[in-house]
Structure 1
Amino acid sequence: MTTTENDTNAAGLPAPEIRPRSVVGRLPRYTAGKPPAVIEGLQSYKLSSNENHFPPLPAVLEAISSGQEINRYPDPLSTALRTELSSFLDVPAEDIVTGGGSLGVLNQLLATFAGQDESGVQDQVVYPWRSFEAYPISVGLSGAESIQVPLREDGTHDLDAMAAAVTERTRVILLCTPNNPTGPALTAAQVESFLASVPSDVIVVIDEAYEDFVRDPEAVNGIDMYRRHPNVVVLRTFSKGAGLAGLRVGYSVSHPAVTQHLRVAAVPFAVSQLAETAAVVSLRHHGELVERIQGLVQERSRVVEGLRELGWQIPEAQGNFVWLALGENTPEFAVLAEQQALAVRAFGTEGVRVTIGEEEANTRFLALCATYTKGPGVS
């Protein structure tokens, strides 16, 4: 054990050099969406984290405000929520495993099925890139090897290339639909063809964090695929459509051959009582949620149409966000947005993701795009 010269702790004692696992130093850092800058005379808006700007439903707020038993551990199996989901989705409750958001559920799945064998050989996880920023972090921490397959130019999955990337070491494949941050959704026909082209003993995860916002009639429905394919695992969350991002509750749906192992790796008490109650009440008031979500979808349509009228070329938007493939102009655009009290999510020199937010925020975003001459397709 070594110490760094002049490196001491609060007690004045030499501080040991604490080393993490070697993989940690190779992992990218997760970057959360920044809050908006405060600009005098302008209302600030956060469009950087794909949050639902509506608060939870009134019935949800009322239900969780009366919670009196937070001194007790929650039900580790989230029985009430799984029972409600079973009825809502028409699937067996035994096929549902809950977790701390869809990311928490994904981490449980990777911990169960992807890592290293007893001789230290890494399993492989195939996924599209760019996609959800946490994928390489989660895969790396599981001990597995990331196999990133570049998206097509239109922001869609290159499913042929993903199938070709599968090897005898592939244990899990991730499909993100709609893809975050680019926006397109996979169709049912595409996923059916893909499933037919990969080994049936490889788990195929259909990550549907944004499924509430999908309006393409040909888009895949993960639950339909799970019913037909024993190796499909569906991930969903209450963070987006239901507006419960701060409570962290998600779930997977898969067949018993998968769930029997997932339950072993599931984090105990990952879903709090408040989160479970909020999710159950949200399901019981789903009609009200649909009305709110439809309002966001209509705003998305207004933004997309506005961008295209300005000559901007953007991918199909099926989530609650739009993608601007700005390349090297990405940092510049993000700064200009910040000067307009709009926080957007910049990805290096690849592009900018902008969440569909309040009407005034969306209008201000379109006004910025109208004055910006370097947008994709703008001449």
Structure 2
Amino acid sequence: MRSRLGSMTSSETLADGILPRPVVGRLPRYAAGKPPAPVEGLASYKLSSNENPLPPLPAVLEAIAGQTDFNRYPDPLSTRLRTALAGFLQVPAEDIVTGAGSLGALNQILATFAGQNEDGKPDEVIYAWRSFEAYPISVGLAGAQSVQVPVTADGRHDLDAMAAAVSARTKVILLCTPNNPTGPALTAAETEAFIGSVPSHVVVVIDEAYQEFVRSADAVDGLSLYRKYPNVVVLRTFSKAHGLAGLRVGYSVAGPGLTQHLRVAATPFAVSQIAETAAIVSLQNFGQVVERVQSLVDERTRVLSGLRALGWAVPDAQGNFVWLDLGTHSADFAAKAAAQALSVRAFPGEGVRVSIGEQEANTRLLALCADYTNPPRGS
């Protein structure tokens, strides 16, 4: 037996006879944005993960530099952060539930409201597709069934089709605005009309991870709808605008009829004390956050204008990224970007998402697009 084990790898030994739940084999794998490969003579830029290319605010770095209480568990309720957010958002602190990023907060929502029922049948979760690629993974792991409704040709949610997809088994609907990876934001009017068209017992999640980047005058504000509809949950994060992606701090906002249940499913100690401190200090210096976000929005405008001047058809972009509908040319474009020391996020056969990065990175992207021979064209 010893010789047999010695000839096997440790992973083979450990995995012998151990199988995951069947759903795991059916789930897609989350593909995180890859770092750029080095290219001699060129500075490398990562445009594949929708990260803020700017570091956290100096006040944030100063505040967390001297923190030493990591031998203690953090406050499981993130009381200081929820109190700060309550004042910032003008909502009751009791309506806020923190999580490890907005994805952690979403997983708590799904664990609470969607899964497999006692009769063995799964609940349904409706969302647009393509949208955030973690949605099908999170829904599947919760034990629920995904109902994916294709986005329109210009990358928008097809809300009429999503409303038509609601069934007796629908428990949660996810609205990603601006939609990642395609870019458009939902309008206030269409979102409110949609909420009014679905049963009031269905939880409607408005995922606003990129809310601070939105400049569309008629865009939805999830908080205004949460105040009107007891079945609405708003998701937000400190990962994007605040540049705290590595600290994993997000939150949901919902009425007490939902938060009383969400707290049961919330992951204990999901937000560390260093993340809580960083988020609070960033809120206290939000004016500087706004200035930094505006600089990225200005770069987004420059990239969009440059692409359209080249004749490229690009959907409206309200996040910190643009969507290139390159279809079967997506992998080829990503390879050519890599040769220019730019990493982008390719969805093979569909398109390429490019995060707005440093000015030099954006300029190099536009130069690449100017020479590319298979650009996306409008219909």
TM bracket (short chain):
over 0.9
Please report how far the alpha carbon of residue 11 of structure 1 lies from its aligned counterpart in structure 2 after TM superposition. Answer: 11
Supply the AA of the counterpart residue of 1:47: L
Tell me how far apart the structure 2 counterparts of residues 248 and 120 of structure 1 sit (CA, whole Å). 34
**Kept in 2: contact 1:210–1:319 (CA 8 A):** yes
Residue aligned with 2:331, SS = helix
Tell me how far apart the structure 1 counterparts of residues 345 and 40 of structure 2 sit (CA, whole Å). 22
Tell me how far apart the structure 1 counterparts of residues 273 and 251 of structure 2 sit (CA, whole Å). 15
Match of 1:82 in 2: 82
Supply the AA of the counterpart residue of 2:205: V
Please report how far the alpha carbon of residue 7 of structure 1 lies from its aligned counterpart in structure 2 after TM superposition. Answer: 7.7
- Pairwise mapping of residues 111-122 of structure 1 onto structure 2 (< 5 A)? 111-122=111-122
Residue aligned with 1:138, SS = helix
Residue aligned with 1:52, SS = coil
| Total equivalences in the alignment | 376
Tell me how far apart the structure 1 counterparts of residues 85 and 284 of structure 2 sit (CA, whole Å). 10
Residue aligned with 1:98, SS = strand
Tell me how far apart the structure 1 counterparts of residues 312 and 329 of structure 2 sit (CA, whole Å). 14
Tell me how far apart the structure 1 counterparts of residues 207 and 69 of structure 2 sit (CA, whole Å). 33
Supply the AA of the counterpart residue of 1:182: T
Tell me how far apart the structure 2 counterparts of residues 140 and 5 of structure 1 sit (CA, whole Å). 35
**Kept in 1: contact 2:115–2:123 (CA 8 A):** yes
Tell me how far apart the structure 2 counterparts of residues 235 and 118 of structure 1 sit (CA, whole Å). 28
Match of 1:135 in 2: 135
Residue aligned with 1:228, SS = coil
- Pairwise mapping of residues 264-279 of structure 1 onto structure 2 (< 5 A)? 264-279=264-279
Question: CA 1:45/1:123 → structure 2, altered by over 3 Å: closer, same or farther?
Answer: same
Tell me how far apart the structure 2 counterparts of residues 140 and 15 of structure 1 sit (CA, whole Å). 23
Establish whether residue 218 from structure 1 lines up as the match of residue 218 from structure 2.
Answer: yes
**Kept in 2: contact 1:9–1:15 (CA 8 A):** no
Supply the AA of the counterpart residue of 1:338: A
Match of 1:374 in 2: 374
Residue aligned with 1:33, SS = coil
Question: CA 1:256/1:339 → structure 2, altered by over 3 Å: closer, same or farther?
Answer: same
**Kept in 1: contact 2:5–2:13 (CA 8 A):** no
Match of 2:318 in 1: 318
**Kept in 1: contact 2:209–2:235 (CA 8 A):** yes
Deviations 1:6-53 (A, max 9, x none): 984549968622100000000000000010010000000000000000
Question: CA 1:12/1:351 → structure 2, altered by over 3 Å: closer, same or farther?
Answer: closer
**Kept in 2: contact 1:7–1:14 (CA 8 A):** no
Supply the AA of the counterpart residue of 1:247: L
Residue aligned with 1:56, SS = coil
Supply the AA of the counterpart residue of 2:169: R
Supply the AA of the counterpart residue of 2:167: T
- Pairwise mapping of residues 52-201 of structure 1 onto structure 2 (< 5 A)? 52-201=52-201
Residue aligned with 1:178, SS = coil
Question: CA 1:5/1:88 → structure 2, altered by over 3 Å: closer, same or farther?
Answer: same
**Kept in 2: contact 1:36–1:46 (CA 8 A):** yes
Supply the AA of the counterpart residue of 2:375: G
Match of 1:257 in 2: 257
Residue aligned with 1:252, SS = strand
Supply the AA of the counterpart residue of 1:260: Q
**Kept in 2: contact 1:320–1:355 (CA 8 A):** yes
Tell me how far apart the structure 1 counterparts of residues 271 and 288 of structure 2 sit (CA, whole Å). 24
4+ residue segments displaced more than 6 Å: 4-7, 11-14
Supply the AA of the counterpart residue of 1:311: G
Match of 1:327 in 2: 327
Please report how far the alpha carbon of residue 228 of structure 1 lies from its aligned counterpart in structure 2 after TM superposition. Answer: 0.7
Match of 1:241 in 2: 241
CA RMSD in angstroms, aligned pairs only: 1.7
Tell me how far apart the structure 1 counterparts of residues 288 and 94 of structure 2 sit (CA, whole Å). 28
Structure 1: where are the runs of 5+ without partners? none
Tell me how far apart the structure 1 counterparts of residues 23 and 12 of structure 2 sit (CA, whole Å). 31
Tell me how far apart the structure 2 counterparts of residues 157 and 375 of structure 1 sit (CA, whole Å). 24
If the length of structure 1 is used for normalisation, what is the TM-score?
0.97
Supply the AA of the counterpart residue of 1:43: A
Question: CA 1:328/1:157 → structure 2, altered by over 3 Å: closer, same or farther?
Answer: same
Tell me how far apart the structure 2 counterparts of residues 276 and 294 of structure 1 sit (CA, whole Å). 24
**Kept in 2: contact 1:238–1:245 (CA 8 A):** yes
Tell me how far apart the structure 2 counterparts of residues 75 and 91 of structure 1 sit (CA, whole Å). 20
Residue aligned with 1:316, SS = coil
Supply the AA of the counterpart residue of 2:115: G
**Kept in 2: contact 1:127–1:148 (CA 8 A):** yes
Residue aligned with 2:190, SS = helix
Tell me how far apart the structure 2 counterparts of residues 77 and 11 of structure 1 sit (CA, whole Å). 38
Match of 2:338 in 1: 338
Residue aligned with 1:136, SS = helix
Question: CA 1:112/1:11 → structure 2, altered by over 3 Å: closer, same or farther?
Answer: closer
Tell me how far apart the structure 2 counterparts of residues 160 and 324 of structure 1 sit (CA, whole Å). 25
**Kept in 2: contact 1:174–1:204 (CA 8 A):** yes
Tell me how far apart the structure 1 counterparts of residues 328 and 202 of structure 2 sit (CA, whole Å). 37
Deviations 1:336-377 (A, max 9, x none): 000000000000110000000000000000000000121111
Residue aligned with 1:122, SS = coil
Deviations 1:140-199 (A, max 9, x none): 000000000000000000000000000010000000000000000000001011011100
Tell me how far apart the structure 2 counterparts of residues 165 and 66 of structure 1 sit (CA, whole Å). 52
